[in-house]
Amino acid sequence: MRPPICFICRKEFSLSDGGGTVRFADYEPLPKGQVGHPDGLEWFCEEHYNRAVELKEHSSREARALFSSE
Ligand SMILES: [Zn+2]
């Protein structure tokens, strides 16, 4: 897993401030025993988390495009 850095604003944040991970349509779990960060799983700061959850039916790439068009 990567540290909590927002997928949208690239802000490094503390989980105690809110935010979290969102699984998008392109989420693929890592193979058993493999260490790393799975595709389609992204961190969002408190400010961007709720909107990210609304966009989770999209792929992470589409979600980022939708964020930047708002
Ligand atoms: Zn953010």
- Is residue 44 domain-resident? yes
- Is residue 32 domain-resident? yes
Domain count, the chain: 1
Tokens for 11, please give them: 């802000």
CA of 35 relative to ligand 1 center, distance in Å: 25
- Is residue 52 domain-resident? yes
- Is residue 10 domain-resident? no
CA 62 – CA 1 distance, rounded (Å): 21
pTM score over 0.85: yes
Residue 46 has pLDDT above 80, yes or no: yes
Residues 49-63 pLDDT 10s: 999 999 999 999 999
Residue 18's pLDDT band, with cuts at 50, 70 and 90, is very high
Using the structure block, give the residue that is written with the tokens 């068009």.
69
CA of 33 relative to ligand 1 center, distance in Å: 30
- Is residue 3 domain-resident? no
- Structural domain for 49, as ranges: 15-68
Concatenating the DSSP letter of every residue in 9-67 gives T--B--GGGS-EEEEEEEEEPPPTT--S--EEEEEE-HHHHHHHHHTTTS-HHHHHHHH
Coil, helix or strand at residue 5:
strand
What pLDDT is stored for residue 2 in this prediction? 87
